[in-house]
Amino acid sequence: MFAVVEIAGMQFEVEPKEVLNVPRLAGEPGDGVSFNNILLVDDNGILKTGTPYIEGSISAKILEHGKDETVLVFHKKRRKGHRKLNGHRQKYTRIEIGEFSL
């Protein structure tokens, strides 16, 4: 059984007991969160699609907050001597998917 769910504007394919990184969510580690924007559910070969969403929710537990690897952004203007280097670390939340209630 899996579902496609919308979390923080992005779509994720999730299964029960799966651990994944999503964009930063509000809450502390150990808190529970619920996602209601379910787009598709596959229940042992039976597909249900939403128009646009399926009624129900998917529960999850926040495990930790963190930052991804550094992404370097380099700007250069040729023949001008202008060079600029910026770094960026995207914040994420690691969650564990709980049960589906459809």
CB atoms within 10 A of CB 97: 21
CA distance 63 to 97: 10
Domain with 23 in it: 2-65+93-101
* Domain membership flag for residue 39: yes
pTM of the model: 0.83
* Domain membership flag for residue 12: yes
| pLDDT score for 21 | 96
Q: How far, in Å, are 33, 49, 76 from residue 92 at the CA level? A: 15, 28, 30
How do residues 28-55 score in pLDDT, each as one tens digit?
999 999 999 999 999 889 999 999 999 9
* Domain membership flag for residue 71: no
Q: Report the domain count for the chain.
A: 1
* Domain membership flag for residue 49: yes
| pLDDT score for 77 | 97
* Domain membership flag for residue 18: yes
pLDDT in tens, the chain (102 residues): 999 999 999 999 999 999 999 999 999 999 999 999 999 999 889 999 999 999 999 999 999 999 999 999 999 999 999 999 999 999 999 999 999 998
* Domain membership flag for residue 70: no
